[in-house]
Amino acid sequence: MLIKMIPELGHFALIIALLMAVVQTIMPLAGATTRRPLWMAYGHPMAVGQFLFIALAYLCLTTSYAVDDFSVANVANNSNSLLPWYYKLSAVWGNHEGSVLLWSLMLAGWGYAASRFSAGLPRDMIARVQGIMGFISVGFLLFILLTSNPFARLLPNVPHDGADLNPLLQDVGLIVHPPMLYMGYVGFSVVFAFAIAALLGGRLDAAWTRWARPWTNIAWAFLTVGIALGSWWAYYELGWGGWWFWDPVENASLLPWLTGTALIHSLAVTEKRGSFKSWTVLLAIFTFSLSLMGTFLVRSGVLTSVHAFANDPSRGLFILVLLAITVTLSLGIFALRAPRVSHHVSFSWLSRDALLLVNNILLVIMTVTILLGTLYPLILDSLGLGKISVGPPYFNALFVPLTVIMCIFMGLGPVARWKRMAPREVIGKLWLAGGAALTLGVVLPLIYRGEWNLWASLGIVAALWIVLPMMRDLVDKTRHGTTRLAGLRKLSLAYWGMVLGHLGIAVTIVGVAVVSNYASERTVRMAPGTTVEIAGYRFTMNELVSRRGANFIADTAVLDVHNIDSGRHFQMRPEKRFYLATGMPMTQVALRPGLLRDLYVAMGEDLKDGSWAMRIQYKPFVRWLWLGGLLMALGGVLAIIDKRYRRTQAAGHAQPASRQHIEAQEVTP
């Protein structure tokens, strides 16, 4: 009996969570304003309760999926009794309603964490953070309950079986990609809450930046991994071998990533030097606003990328109202409470301060460019100027040069000092690295392939220009320890985080440059016995077989692959699948991954004479794209393990002593 009521239990839990979120919004904010500790004390228990009840609701929906309760519309539309159990569990977030529930669960989780780990902060600051997290939560819970209820029933006509999960989403990529991406999107809400709380409380000092930094880093790390996983998923699942398509959905995730990256850097300046205070707060607001705007663009049906919700305009309208209230209110608070006098901290042309300023401006230009390209067709259409498309050629034409300019400054940034630096010192530190980057960048492509390519060279020069000065700097830094190793140990984790983050960018740039310029592909007709040669590999089709999977049937081509240089043999098995429940055909590519190259085979059309069209691709260094993403995320995580954050978390206010300690660490000897 009880098991039949699980969806209602989940629905009920969501309603309780909503009520708790309302209390969490009102009491702590009112308490902070009127200085009543008792009111402020509501914040933490409500954050805990809200998290538990949303978790309960989430568990209920998952249970309905696990036990194939097709009386729940969401389950009936997105699952099937034949679906393997792990896809049943991940199917929960493979659809609109379930994914919003996951989003809310994460929001409550972040809210709980922010509340739990802020014990050392001033009371009113914590209370305001809790209140703002509660406010956002109210919005999303109302969104679920009013427009996107995942527990809606199909009674009395319960279908016998479900419509099945879209085959494209039956994949390990789907299991891991969305949760990571959402953790990033939602994580920025904590930074946002800190920014608004600081504005409201008039505490826009170095202390708030110290509190906000770890949250920014971890949200950014999640978002980085989420984007990398999305790119990896598209690469192997969609069958074209592309890894970035400038689709509005992808752009929506890149926008907060870019401003988040800018925020990480501007937080550093504000914390260390006390400058750019207002700008940092504004970036925190922008980053979360762009996360919300991305959600709106993706789920409202205004863009031609997604149309699943075009038939339900109430959802788009709801998110739009939520977006408008959140962003307008926060920008309004910013306008009214942003600090009036900025501390005139001085720095010169050649200083870390100036370089980070350039970094921020470049990232903002990139953000605006992508936003412009994504929205421009809509603007023209609204003005009655016709329909156009803005696609990869536009974005590449602008993004690539902007990235190159960014790289030039990235080489200087980590070795520069705060405040000022003599040009002679900069040149002294960089001439060797610069020369080496140029030489290697020109020579390496020649050694690698024997054919020179301007763009590949440019990419490698840029990557080396980022990495080599950093290495040189590391060597310099360790010179002062009693031994090299002791010197290395002395460097803070935050410093290592920075090194890894920049290294990650360099690795990704190498991947992009090489795979874009040295990839090769051939589309060929293959029958059993056919042999094709590409990039030093010989592909022979051994046989064609038919097989049956759990919920699909497939034609499989068995290819013997022979590496001509090394003499190694292996097999690859691309498939053409037909999913029984949805009637959808799917191309399952065969991949042979490697650090230096991927082999990628996709099956095309059955040519009806016993042969098939096959696309064979050789993709050098493509793994470096995602490897770089992982390094960046690792850097972000490493930086927050640094004990100075944990200590200041406990200590609360910024203390002059710890401040000096940091400066001492950062200044290059």
Partner 1 sequence: MALIRTLTVAILFTLTLSAVAGGIEIREFDNPVLAQRYDDLTASMRCPLCENQAIGDSDSPISADMRERVYQLLQEGRADSEIVDHMVARFGDYILYNPRLERRTYLLWGLPIGLGVIGCLIVMLIVRARRNASAKALSADERARLNALLERQRSS
Partner 2 sequence: MNRRRLLLLLPLGFLLVALFFYQRLQHDPSARDSALMAREFPVFEATTLRDANRHVDQTLLQDDVTLVNVWGEWCPACKQEMPQLLELAEHGIRMVGVNYRDTREKGMSFLNEYGDPFTVNIFDPEGSLGFDLGVYGAPETFLVDADGIIRYHHKGYISPEDVTERILPEVAKWR
Burial bucket for residue 463 (CB in 10 Å: 0-12, 13-18, 19+): buried
Region binding partner 1 by CB under 8 A among candidate stretches 49-57, 199-207, 363-371, 636-644:
363-371
State residue 357 phi and psi, 5-degree precision. -60, -45
Looking at 5, 329, 361, 443, which residue binds partner 1 (CB under 8 A)?
A: 361
Indicate whether 327 belongs to the interface with partner 2 (CB under 8 A): yes
Indicate whether 301 belongs to the interface with partner 2 (CB under 8 A): yes
Q: Is the dihedral of CA 635, 637, 642, 647 positive or negative?
A: positive
Indicate whether 314 belongs to the interface with partner 1 (CB under 8 A): no
Indicate whether 132 belongs to the interface with partner 1 (CB under 8 A): no
* Least Cβ distance, residue 157 to partner 2 (angstroms): 25
Place of tokens 């209390």: 23
List Cα–Cα distances, 461 to 42, 413, 426, 454, 512, in angstroms.
56, 16, 19, 10, 13
Q: Which one, of 571, 568, 567, lies nearest residue 592 by Cα?
A: 571
Region binding partner 2 by CB under 8 A among candidate stretches 80-88, 172-180, 379-387, 431-439:
379-387
From the list partner 2, partner 1, none, which binds 335 (C-beta under 5 to 8 Å, kind-based)?
A: partner 2
DSSP-derived secondary structure for 445-480: HHHHHSS--HHHHHHHHHHHHHHHHHHHHHHHHHTT
Q: Which residues contact 337 (CB under 8 A, 6 or more apart)?
A: 199, 200, 202
Q: Which one, of 446, 419, 444, 503, lies nearest residue 469 by Cα?
A: 503
The mark string for 605-644 relative to partner 1 (x by CB under 8 A, - otherwise) is: x-x-----xxx-x---------------------------
Structure tokens at 459: 């990419």
Looking at 353, 473, 575, 598, which residue binds partner 1 (CB under 8 A)?
A: 353
What is the SS3 assignment for 345-377?
CCCCCCCHHHHHHHHHHHHHHHHHHHHHHHHHH
Q: Which is nearer to partner 2, 360 or 551 (CB)?
A: 360
Contacts with partner 2 by CB under 8 A: the residue count is 31
DSSP-derived secondary structure for 291-341: HHHHHHHHHHS-STT--TTTT-HHHHHHHHHHHHHHHHHHHHHHHHHS-SS
Q: Which is nearer to partner 2, 270 or 289 (CB)?
A: 289
The mark string for 468-507 relative to partner 1 (x by CB under 8 A, - otherwise) is: ----------------------------------------
- CA distance linking residue 167 with residue 43, whole number of Å: 43
The mark string for 158-197 relative to partner 1 (x by CB under 8 A, - otherwise) is: --------x-xx----x--xx-------------------
Indicate whether 400 belongs to the interface with partner 2 (CB under 8 A): no
Q: Is the dihedral of CA 167, 173, 176, 180 positive or negative?
A: negative
Residues 273-312 that bind partner 1 (CB under 8 A): 275, 298-299, 304-309
Indicate whether 340 belongs to the interface with partner 2 (CB under 8 A): yes
Region binding partner 1 by CB under 8 A among candidate stretches 45-53, 113-121, 347-355, 652-660:
347-355
Residues 266-295 that bind partner 2 (CB under 8 A): 289
Looking at 346, 439, 571, 655, which residue binds partner 1 (CB under 8 A)?
A: 346
List Cα–Cα distances, 62 to 65, 67, 74, 203, in angstroms.
5, 9, 11, 42
Residues 303-322 that bind partner 2 (CB under 8 A): 303-304, 307, 310, 313, 316-317, 320
Under DSSP, the state recorded for 578 is E
* Least Cβ distance, residue 340 to partner 2 (angstroms): 7
* Least Cβ distance, residue 55 to partner 1 (angstroms): 21
H or E stretch covering 251: helix 248-273
Edge-to-edge, what's the strand order for the sheet holding 612-620? Answer: 520-526, 612-620, 597-606, 590-592
Indicate whether 531 belongs to the interface with partner 1 (CB under 8 A): no
* Least Cβ distance, residue 309 to partner 2 (angstroms): 10
Indicate whether 336 belongs to the interface with partner 2 (CB under 8 A): yes
Contact 249, 231 (CB under 8 A): no
Region binding partner 1 by CB under 8 A among candidate stretches 43-51, 462-470, 531-539, 597-605:
597-605
From the list partner 2, partner 1, none, which binds 332 (C-beta under 5 to 8 Å, kind-based)?
A: partner 2
Under DSSP, the state recorded for 241 is -
Beta-carbon count within 10 A of 157 CB: 6
Residue 603 Rama label (left phi>0; alpha psi -120 to 50; beta): beta
Contact 337, 331 (CB under 8 A): no
Q: Which is nearer to partner 1, 6 or 298 (CB)?
A: 298
Region binding partner 2 by CB under 8 A among candidate stretches 41-49, 219-227, 329-337, 466-474:
329-337
Burial bucket for residue 650 (CB in 10 Å: 0-12, 13-18, 19+): exposed
Q: Is the dihedral of CA 493, 494, 499, 505 positive or negative?
A: positive
Looking at 81, 146, 159, 381, which residue binds partner 2 (CB under 8 A)?
A: 381
Contacts with partner 1 by CB under 8 A: the residue count is 94
* Least Cβ distance, residue 255 to partner 2 (angstroms): 13
Indicate whether 376 belongs to the interface with partner 2 (CB under 8 A): no
- The site for partner 2 (CB under 8 A) is made up of 289, 296, 300-304, 307, 310, 313, 316-317, 320, 323-324, 327-329, 331-332, 334-336, 338, 340, 378-379, 381-382, 386-387
